[in-house]
Amino acid sequence: MNRNEIYNRLYRFIFPTPDGLSPWGRRLMFMWRHRVTPAGRMLLIILLIAGPVSASITLNRPLYFYSILLFSLMLVGRLFGILFAPRVKISRALPERCAAGATVTIEAKLENIGLLPIFDLAASERFPGASVRLSENPVYHPCLRRGESATLPYTLEFTRRGVCDFTGPVALTVFPFGVYHHAKMFSAPHRMLVYPRFAPLTDIALPVGRKHQPGGLQMASHVGDSEEFLGNREYRPGDRLRDIHHAAWARTGFPVVREFQQEYLCRIALIVDTHAPKKSRRELADLEAALSLSASIADVLSRREYLIDIFAAGPDLYHFQAGRSLAHLDNILDILACIDACVTDPFATLGPALREEIKNISTAVIILLDWSEEKEEFVRFVQSFGVMPKVLVVRDTPPTLEPGGVRYGGEEVKIFAPAEIQRGLQTV
């Protein structure tokens, strides 16, 4: 086996696929980034350079002694850290959610429960995946004596949207030589949702109408009465006896009834396309931009008196309702954080699910990743129920089929590039 074959096998061992690392490759990368200190990385680089150089030099200049010395230094430090691992109690509080691209500073409280003092102590986290990384070097506490406690911060950076399942915090120490982080791990599971990063919209132009909601707010939010109270008036023959206001009757001396009116609400459907057949980098970037645009629209709608229905079809069909006395914007962002790309066309399952609710919907904001005859047929299906649609297409390249000036509900189909959405839109 020649040298090239050895290099090729080593490369395939670490990088088995073009787009990702193998489990061993991820572990080596994690060890290099988070376990070895900057001083330890420098020593390893010197060790790798000094070894081949010393092999090509005569014994009159024994450079391999330096390689042996550096290797022994790291080995003794590693064994020392295993024997004198820090005995501490650690607690930390992680937030429930944050935006993609955000940096979050966590404060961990550590207490020395051992007999010996702990030198150069720091706190960190067991990272759930490549979407989370340590943005800054840990803050070290010089010496934590027996029974003492200290609060140490560390900063996490969330690079991508998704669900992060943390398994627990980690206590680190670089004692004695400062070249390797000796770690003690703790179990404290916590799930954190990273929702898409979005810029708030100042306004949104909607073809808004109102429809009578059977049952009013009772059916929409399951609280309150189904009709809106207007006031009192004199009793008329045929009025319901249960509407009689006895307190007002006692004050006036003649029968008084309460008067109500049926509730008319504006109910808006936010329909998100998640179809990414190849899951290529461009398609996934379009999906992330579409979810960011969905979050911006949900944000501006949540500040108004609307009922919002979110429909998103992916590996799972999501239907979520918010607005008025229902859930808040945070719950909508939680849904957007969990949506995955769908390889098959999601509108086959979205249509039947939408049919049950579309009769009570006034306006539909439809965010698509492409414009095709199937998508046009879906928009016409929504319009056939008397719903006024607003169609937005998010693509990095022009759609395969141009809208050609076709209008739905009085508005033309709008096309946005992901870069334009990332810079921030004022209105849509």
The DSSP secondary structure of 290-354, one letter per residue, reads HHHHHHHHHHHHHTSS-EEEEEEESSSEEEEEESTTSB-HHHHHHHHHH---BSS-THHHHHHHH
**395, 343 in Cβ contact below 8 A?**
no
Q: Does the pLDDT at position 316 exceed 70?
A: no
Instruction: Give the residue carrying structure tokens 């991820």.
Output: 26
Q: Does the pLDDT at position 4 exceed 70?
A: no
Distance CA 29, CA 24 (A): 9
Q: DSSP alpha helices (H): ranges in 15-63?
A: 23-30, 38-55
The DSSP call for residue 275 is B
Q: What is the mean pLDDT of residues 54-69?
A: 60
Q: How confident is the model at residue 212 (pLDDT cuts 50, 70, 90)?
A: very low
The DSSP call for residue 156 is E
**229, 203 in Cβ contact below 8 A?**
no
Strand 307-313 versus strand 267-272 pairing type:
parallel
Tell me the fold of 265-423: Rossmann fold (3.40.50)
Q: Does the pLDDT at position 414 exceed 90?
A: no
Please give the class, per CATH, of domain 88-195. mainly beta
Residue 124 β-bridge partners: 170
Whole-prediction pTM = 0.73
**267, 364 in Cβ contact below 8 A?**
no
Percent of the chain with pLDDT over 90: 22
**Cβ atoms within 10 Å, residue 319:** 16
3-state secondary structure of 423: helix
**108, 149 in Cβ contact below 8 A?**
no
Q: How confident is the model at residue 112 (pLDDT cuts 50, 70, 90)?
A: very high
The pLDDT score that the predictor gives to residue 229 is 59
Distance CA 257, CA 181 (A): 77
Q: DSSP alpha helices (H): ranges in 93-205?
A: none
Q: What is the mean pLDDT of residues 293-313?
A: 85
Asked if the domains at 88-195 and 265-423 fall in one CATH topology, the answer is no
pLDDT tens column, 331-389: 889 989 988 888 888 877 777 777 777 877 888 899 999 888 888 888 888 888 888 88
CA dist 13 to 2, 16, 160, 371, Å?
A: 17, 6, 26, 42
The pLDDT score that the predictor gives to residue 92 is 94
**416, 392 in Cβ contact below 8 A?**
yes
The pLDDT score that the predictor gives to residue 226 is 46
The pLDDT score that the predictor gives to residue 225 is 38
Phi, psi of 170 (to 5 degrees): -135, 135
Q: Domain spans of the chain?
A: 3-83, 88-195, 227-262, 265-423
Q: How confident is the model at residue 90 (pLDDT cuts 50, 70, 90)?
A: very high
